[in-house]
Amino acid sequence: MPRFSYTALDARGAEKTGLLDAPDVKQVAAILRGQGLFPTEVATAGTAEKVERDLRARLEKPVLRPGSTTEPSAATHSLKLQLHLPFWRLVGAKELAGFTRQLATLLHAGMPLLRGLEVLARQERNQALRRVVEALAEAIKSGGTLSEALAQHPRVFDRLYINMVKAGEAGGMPDVVLDRLARFQEKSLQLKGKITTAMAYPLIVMTVAGFILAGLLVFVVPKFNQIFADLLKGAPLPPLTQLVLTISDAVKNHYLVALGVLAALGLAGWAFRRTPGGARLLDTWTVKLPLFGELFLKALIARFARTLGTLLSSGVPILPALLITRDTCGNSRVADAITEVHDRVKEGAPVARPLEATAVFPPMVTSMIDVGEHTGQLPEMLGKVADLYEDEVDNAVAGLNALIEPILILFLALIVGTIVIALFLPIIRIVQLLT
């Protein structure tokens, strides 16, 4: 019989850990609830020794509590800075997903909402999130609803989060909606991780190549310039060599100007991205990039389908769901398309036809949505579209990793080879003059 390690809370909120042998995770949760415990984490173990080792490590790990004298003052100072910087995100997506999953588990186990929030606030290690959860508990204690309490923290909980919770409260199933929300956040994190993986390798390689190229131009090429001047005695250099030497001289003697120009270009690009026209232009250009454009478009479609499907399955009406999806899609071109769909649906049209008319979404997506509308299973069909395109993102990332490596090698070989040839051409002429 499989063995599981668990973390659970008793009626007073104290954390309990241990091991259980049971057929599956559901049976473990049932056993714990029968013992008066509320499970917050149940993990499968490969061997008993591994479970016991992990359990000992978890028990030995110190936990900082609010007001503890062992909390470092630097962390408190950092939190104060975070609370006063408007551009600083207080709570990361990973921490928020973990909080949502734990709260859904506690509510599903039968723990009252207020008690669950107090328990999560007491065990939360992220100081910013702990204070937010404490504020939520105070708002609930004062008679407010969870959605009203969440709306008081817009920098932590976005419109999607708040509206899904509000729909769950209206339908009397907040635990179910929070579970859907947690799965949505976990899927979003996985998708973001795949995109980051695809982008990280070429960026790292190009950054290292840039430093190597700068080192060659600043330290190596100037020494050859002096050698050529001494041996050629004023004879003209080949055009390619002269070009490389000129670039080297510019980089070595005017690097501050070059850095200033790069910084100015970066700042101008950031400001341009903040304008509506600039955002639309850059977002349109992004999905048309060679190699990466198709990957970005598939990720956007997966996010659109996952968001809209999650909202609809949670009871959010179609028009507000489209607006929330538009505001969280992350691409102005897709947002404009969703706005067009919203306006047409408001006039009585189905979703699939105006979605197809935008020419942003592939025919297969609109066809699947059309089938979902005709069968009355639009949320389920949107979930299948999201699963399909998340798999497509996986395949695209694997293909990119196989394709980008030889392209980068050829690119670096071209750059370094050009410098080497430029430096060897005068050497050939010097040998000819000596013979």
pLDDT tens profile 143-165: 888 989 998 898 889 888 988 88
Tens digits of residue pLDDT in 79-92: 333 343 333 456 88
Between CA 88 and CA 97 the distance in angstroms is 18
Task: CATH 1.20.81.30 in the chain: give the residue spans.
Answer: 64-157, 192-435
Between CA 108 and CA 204 the distance in angstroms is 44
* Alpha-carbon torsion, ordered 290, 293, 295, 296, to 10 deg: 150
Rounded average pLDDT per 10-residue block, the chain, 435 residues: 75 71 78 74 57 45 39 37 43 90 90 91 89 92 89 88 85 86 90 83 84 85 81 78 87 81 88 83 84 87 92 88 88 90 92 90 92 92 93 85 82 86 83 69
Tens digits of residue pLDDT in 256-287: 887 888 899 989 988 888 887 888 888 888 88
275 Ramachandran zone, left/alpha/beta (phi>0; psi -120 to 50): beta
Assign domain 64-157 to a CATH class.
mainly alpha
The pTM assigned to this predicted structure is: 0.66
Within a 10 A sphere around the Cβ of 193, how many other Cβ atoms?
Answer: 11
Between CA 232 and CA 236 the distance in angstroms is 8
Residue range 192-435, CATH number: 1.20.81.30
